């Protein structure tokens, strides 16, 4: 990184590079002094040969503190310059064991394949092809743990004859078991497909990359005998040897279909839709295995019923489809296994030991003594010190700095900075997005400094700042100050690109401390040496046992760390609740098809509409396959079933026939095909019926309203002055469109003057709220399609940037559902109009860029730059010399281009990369142009 030349300016303010160059950094080398290890090899008490039944394995977790190997005193050489506050010193307490009294740590090291051949994936019992085991080995999986071998070798699993439900701690190797079962099934049965279900888009994207890496160069087992082209094995010739992996999730622009994939990595909603389509089209027999990760999501209030629907449909079909469910936070594993007629397996083994501590009033205690701690603390008078009664393991010295006067904040800073000074990573969980940013800024102030230039770590931090600044949303001012110190924050209010860059930087050690909300614990795989939970509340509510385990599970990860620690910082008011929390069992998983959650209504409609059931007895059999029937009395379940069926009939979604069978109406089939819930489907139906009578086509506002997703709209708060301002800016066509759907400018003005909020109690009030929320969100969708920067939209409507991004992602799937709904209702003209507009939404661009936005690597901003620099249409792009595109591509990311100019080697590498990208763009443009010419000739 050059230190000469003029300061780089961006968006009118100084960059962190300018600030870093002007800052004086005091630096002294520091090394983490690890405590000498007297670890003994771990010998498994269990032989995995000849496994006939399920077992429970456990690993020791009662080990002493491992990060005291780097006391803060040894990091004082990194003292920050005067004027900044410093983290408090952490010293040993009276309750700490002396070295000779400390128990010998027994590491959770599984015997190697030399000791037990069954721990090698290449063992013949697993039947995996050499190419696959070589891939696993190349990615670091050379041997497996005894519990994994025991589980995989249980009768009927590797052959796909039995279902499996299992639980193991986070970081204990759960995913590998499912990966082996899934891949073996697909490789050995080349006509079968797999669905891998994960709850969050970030997890789907992460797993998609992993799966594509693991199957690269791995081939399916196809018959190798020679067949005549008209012979019985002609179908094998159409099969591909390679394993195709496709991602299906909100915002994904893949054009791949069920027929084009072997392994579908999906969100819950997409997986349910794929299974419905396969049942309806009678191709469900192609499915060979379904893996349900994070199975505890079954009782999620908003999405759990979809998981239960999937399992219920597969159980009823009784096809040769293996179901594999796993989670780290299941308590009633055996009951779930009984419901699914599956083998169950419970493991408590963790390859990396975790030490758990409670932090109370600047003192650190082992979490195992939390109950005694509370009982003692509650009896103390104000004049008595808790430290004198229960000697703490370690003590955090009180701080003289005003910013650290709060003992919880003082403890959080001291623990985080100590970890960073030792060269390890710390994850700090706190209760809100705002708290994340505040705590990240505070921690960064006390972090040890690096030189402003000349170190690889600082250069990587400055590169990270440059990448964040190049995003369309710009660089967050808090991140600008914290990243150069090695701290960052991560929460659901950030854009996907911001979260990915920050998470990757932390994973690579560029950032030493990451402050996050609990969404990180459930959504991203980021291990840490030390997890610090700043308070037991996430928002106003106490965190639950499952989420606490998810957060603590981020500590220590095989291949990343040798050990892990968790610290739960507790305030006096929450002491009783925290002690109860630490003692609490995992909550039992319950069905989400209960009447108050209305899931059974959708379950029945989907089953009837896809042709899975029709007669009363078949419907009863279907209901008996639900988790609801496993947990409630059958008579009560049948009563709920009859009530739901009657509702479907009354709403004309289902028809009750003379032979006492049920059949989906055209409306019911359209609702299921478009993946809407019955309630949302009926609302959309009423809106589209009105649109059939009169569609405002001399402007775009009516279409933007129709394509605004209900889910995004209902979670968007309305700022009424902004609503009125946007109404005032509309032309006559836009006003007419919104009035037609039910928006009255007078009502909006009344809400502005009164300062009132929408009432949503009665059905009419709920319907009215949906219309106004949808219209308000439609303004945002219009701005997105008109290439207004994401950060500008967020500021204009006073919403988080991620809300705008989520809207952009959700509108694609919702728009596709609307078009499919119209097609099923035989509203061909309306479907054609909406389908044309859907292309513009997909591109996120104005109409003049739609053509070019179809090209690989060309998004709306790139298309605009290409058009402004002479490549005005698809034909010009197809006929271009790739080298002529390179200067334009450099304009897409000017910061990276500027950096490459400072280093000749970097410049060559960057230019070569852009040439390859330009060649791909020209090739894609040629392909699309040729296809369009062919269509013109045919017409």
How confident is the model over 864-888, as pLDDT tens digits?
A: 677 667 777 777 788 888 888 888 7
| pLDDT above 50 (res 53) | no
| pLDDT above 50 (res 820) | yes
Pick the CATH number of 595-666 from 1.10.10.10, 3.40.140.10, 1.10.10.200, 1.20.58.1610: 1.10.10.10
Q: What is the mean pLDDT of residues 403-417?
A: 90
- Assess if CATH 3.40.605.10 describes domain 117-224+236-348: no
354-583 and 595-666: same fold? Answer: no
CA distance 863 to 877: 10
Residue 387 has a pLDDT of: 67
Q: What is the mean pLDDT of residues 96-122?
A: 61
Burial class (CB in 10 A: 0-12, 13-18, 19+), 934: exposed
Interacting residues of 802 by C-beta distance below 8 A, sequence separation 6+: 492, 493, 494, 495, 496
* Residue of 38 and 562 predicted with greater confidence: 562
What is the fold, at CATH topology level, of the domain defined by 678-844? Sec63 N-terminal domain-like fold (1.10.3380)
Model confidence pTM above 0.85? no
Interacting residues of 639 by C-beta distance below 8 A, sequence separation 6+: none
Any bridge partners for residue 661, and if so which?
615
Segment holding 366, helix H or strand E: strand 363-366
The model's pLDDT over 339-362, given as tens digits with 9 standing for 90+, comes to: 999 999 999 888 888 888 888 888
| pLDDT above 70 (res 224) | no
| pLDDT above 80 (res 520) | no
Q: How far is CA 868 from CA 11, 31, 626, 709, in A?
A: 22, 53, 58, 33
Q: What is the mean pLDDT of residues 745-772?
A: 91
| pLDDT above 80 (res 470) | no
Q: Where are the alpha helices (DSSP H) in 674-762?
A: 678-693, 701-706, 710-714, 720-729, 732-741, 745-754
Any bridge partners for residue 289, and if so which?
194, 322
The model's pLDDT over 687-714, given as tens digits with 9 standing for 90+, comes to: 999 888 888 877 889 988 998 998 888 8
Whether residue 522 contacts residue 551, with contact meaning beta carbons closer than 8 Å, is answered with no
Any bridge partners for residue 735, and if so which?
none
Q: What proportions of the chain, in percent to the nearest 5, are helix, strand and coil?
A: 50, 10, 35
Residue 748 has a pLDDT of: 94
The model's pLDDT over 614-660, given as tens digits with 9 standing for 90+, comes to: 999 999 999 999 999 988 888 999 999 999 999 999 999 999 998 88
Tokens of 112: 């190697």
Q: Which of 64-68, 232-236, 500-504 has the highest mean pLDDT?
A: 500-504
Interacting residues of 582 by C-beta distance below 8 A, sequence separation 6+: 358, 367, 370, 371, 568
Segment holding 724, helix H or strand E: helix 720-729
The model's pLDDT over 80-96, given as tens digits with 9 standing for 90+, comes to: 444 467 888 888 876 66
Tokens of 813: 């799937």
Stretch among 104-113, 171-180, 290-299, 417-426 having the lowest mean pLDDT: 104-113
| pLDDT above 50 (res 734) | yes
β-sheet with 90-92: strand ranges across = 90-92, 394-396, 363-366, 354-360, 564-570, 530-534, 426-429, 513-516, 487-490
Residue 803 has a pLDDT of: 85
Residue 3 has a pLDDT of: 38
Whether residue 581 contacts residue 542, with contact meaning beta carbons closer than 8 Å, is answered with yes
Tokens of 678: 């019955």
Residue 775 has a pLDDT of: 95
Residue 62 has a pLDDT of: 37
Interacting residues of 699 by C-beta distance below 8 A, sequence separation 6+: 731, 733, 734, 737
Q: What is the mean pLDDT of residues 154-162?
A: 94
Find tokens 């005694």 and name the residue.
Answer: 372
Q: What is the CATH number of domain 354-583?
A: 3.40.50.300
| pLDDT above 90 (res 133) | yes
Q: Which pLDDT band holds residue 553 (cuts at 50, 70, 90)?
A: confident
Residue 140 has a pLDDT of: 85
Mean predicted lDDT score pLDDT of the chain: 79
Q: Where are the domains of the chain?
A: 117-224+236-348, 354-583, 595-666, 678-844, 860-938
Q: How large a percentage of the chain has pLDDT more than 90?
A: 34
Q: Taking Cα atoms as reference points, which of 883, 104, 902, 824 lies closest to residue 463?
A: 902
Residue 349 has a pLDDT of: 87
Q: Which pLDDT band holds residue 393 (cuts at 50, 70, 90)?
A: confident
Interacting residues of 213 by C-beta distance below 8 A, sequence separation 6+: 135, 139
Residue 383 has a pLDDT of: 52
Backbone φ, ψ for residue 938 (5° rounding): -65, -35
Residue 35 has a pLDDT of: 33
| pLDDT above 90 (res 772) | yes
Q: How far is CA 704 from CA 225, 691, 812, 819, 837, in A?
A: 56, 13, 12, 13, 9
Q: CA angle 267-320-337, nearest 5°? A: 65
Q: What is the mean pLDDT of residues 737-762?
A: 91
Burial class (CB in 10 A: 0-12, 13-18, 19+), 113: middle
* Residue of 326 and 142 predicted with greater confidence: 326
Q: How large a percentage of the chain has pLDDT more than 70?
A: 77
| pLDDT above 80 (res 1) | no
Q: Residues in the chain, how many?
A: 939
């Amino acid at each position: 990184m050059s230190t000469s030349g003029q300061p780089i300016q961006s968006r009118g303010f100084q960059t962190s590079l300018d600030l870093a160059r002007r800052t004086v950094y005091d630096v002294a080398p520091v090394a983490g002094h690890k405590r000498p290890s007297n670890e003994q090899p771990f010998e498994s008490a269990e032989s995995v040969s000849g496994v006939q039944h399920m077992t429970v394995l456990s690993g020791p977790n009662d080990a002493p503190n491992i990060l005291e190997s780097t006391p803060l005193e040894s990091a004082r050489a990194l003292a920050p310059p005067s004027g900044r506050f410093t983290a408090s010193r952490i010293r040993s307490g009276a309750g700490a064991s002396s070295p000779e009294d400390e128990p010998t740590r027994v590491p959770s090291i599984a015997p190697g394949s030399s000791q037990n051949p069954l721990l090698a994936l290449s063992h013949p019992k697993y039947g995996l092809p050499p190419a696959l085991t070589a891939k696993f080995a190349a990615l670091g999986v050379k041997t497996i743990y005894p519990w994994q071998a025991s589980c995989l070798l249980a009768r009927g699993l590797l052959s796909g004859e039995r279902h499996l439900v299992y639980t193991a701690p986070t970081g204990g190797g759960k995913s590998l078991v499912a990966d082996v079962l899934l891949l073996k099934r697909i490789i050995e049965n080349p006509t079968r497909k797999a669905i891998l279900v994960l709850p969050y888009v970030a997890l789907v994207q992460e797993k998609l990359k992993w799966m594509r890496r693991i199957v690269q160069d791995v081939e399916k087992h196809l018959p190798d005998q020679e067949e005549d082209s008209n012979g019985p094995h002609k179908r094998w010739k159409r099969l591909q040897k390679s394993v195709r992996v496709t991602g299906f999730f909100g915002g994904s622009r893949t054009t791949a279909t069920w027929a084009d994939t072997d392994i579908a990595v999906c969100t819950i909603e997409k997986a349910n839709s794929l299974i419905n389509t396969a049942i309806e089209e009678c191709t469900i027999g192609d499915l060979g295995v379904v893996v349900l990760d994070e199975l505890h999501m079954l009782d999620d209030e908003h999405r759990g019923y979809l998981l239960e629907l999937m399992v219920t449909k597969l159980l009823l079909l009784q096809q040769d489809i293996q179901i594999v469910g796993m989670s780290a936070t299941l308590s009633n594993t055996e009951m779930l296994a009984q419901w699914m007629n599956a083998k169950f397996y419970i493991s408590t083994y963790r390859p990396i030991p975790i030490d758990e501590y409670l932090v109370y009033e600047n003192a650190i205690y082992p979490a195992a003594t939390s109950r005694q701690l509370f009982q003692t603390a509650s009896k103390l008078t104000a004049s008595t010190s808790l430290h004198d009664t229960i000697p703490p393991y370690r003590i955090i010295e009180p701080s003289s700095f005003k910013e650290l006067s709060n003992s919880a904040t003082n403890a959080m800073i001291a623990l985080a900075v100590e970890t960073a000074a030792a060269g390890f990573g710390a994850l700090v969980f706190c209760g809100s997005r705002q708290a994340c940013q505040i705590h990240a800024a505070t921690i960064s102030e006390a972090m040890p400094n690096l030189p402003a230039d000349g170190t690889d770590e600082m250069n990587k931090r400055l590169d990270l700042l440059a990448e964040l600044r190049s995003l369309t949303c710009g660089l967050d001012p808090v991140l600008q100050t914290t990243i150069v110190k090695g701290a960052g924050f991560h929460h659901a209010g950030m854009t996907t690109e911001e979260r990915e860059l920050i998470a990757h930087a932390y994973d690579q050690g560029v950032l030493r401390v990451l402050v996050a909300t609990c969404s990180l614990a459930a959504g991203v795989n980021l291990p840490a040496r030390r997890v610090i939970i700043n308070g037991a509340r996430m928002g106003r509510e106490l965190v639950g046992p499952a989420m606490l385990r998810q957060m603590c599970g981020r500590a220590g990860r095989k291949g990343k760390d040798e050990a892990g620690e968790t610290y739960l910082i507790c305030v006096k008011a929450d002491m009783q609740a925290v002690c109860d929390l630490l003692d609490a069992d995992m909550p039992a998983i319950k069905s989400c098809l209960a009447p108050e959650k209305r899931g059974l209504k959708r379950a029945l409609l989907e089953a009837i509409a896809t042709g899975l059931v029709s007669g009363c007895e078949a419907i009863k059999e279907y209901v008996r396959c639900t988790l609801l029937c496993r947990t409630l009395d059958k008579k009560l379940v049948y009563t709920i079933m009859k009530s739901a069926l009657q509702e479907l009939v009354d709403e004309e979604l289902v028809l009750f026939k003379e032979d006492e069978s049920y059949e989906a109406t055209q409306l019911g089939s359209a609702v299921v095909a478009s993946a809407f819930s019955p309630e949302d489907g009926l609302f959309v139906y009423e809106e589209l019926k009105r649109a059939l009578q009169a569609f405002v086509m001399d402007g775009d506002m009516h279409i933007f309203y129709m394509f605004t997703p209900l889910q995004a709209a209902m979670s968007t708060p309305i700022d009424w002055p902004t609503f009125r301002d946007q109404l005032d800016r509309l032309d006559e066509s836009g006003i007419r469109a919104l009035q037609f759907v039910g928006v009255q400018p007078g009502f909006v003005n009344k809400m502005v003057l009164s300062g009132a909020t929408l009432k949503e109690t009665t059905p009419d009030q709920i319907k009215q709220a949906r219309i106004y929320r949808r219209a308000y969100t439609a303004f945002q969708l219009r701005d997105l399609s008109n290439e207004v920067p994401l950060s500008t939209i967020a500021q204009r409507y006073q919403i988080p940037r991620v809300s705008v991004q989520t809207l952009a992602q959700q509108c694609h799937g919702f728009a596709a559902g609307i078009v499919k709904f119209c097609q099923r209702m035989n509203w061909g003209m309306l479907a054609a109009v909406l389908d044309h507009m859907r292309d513009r939404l997909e591109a996120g661009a104005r109409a003049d860029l739609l053509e070019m936005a179809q090209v690989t690597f060309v998004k709306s901003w790139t298309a605009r730059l290409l058009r402004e620099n002479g490549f005005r249409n698809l034909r010009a792009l197809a006929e271009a010399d790739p080298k002529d595109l390179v200067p334009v591509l450099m304009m897409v990311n000017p910061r990276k281009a500027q950096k490459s100019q400072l280093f000749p080697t970097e410049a060559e590498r960057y230019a070569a990369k852009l040439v390859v990208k330009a060649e791909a763009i020209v090739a894609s443009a040629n392909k699309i142009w040729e296809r369009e010419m062919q269509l013109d000739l045919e017409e």
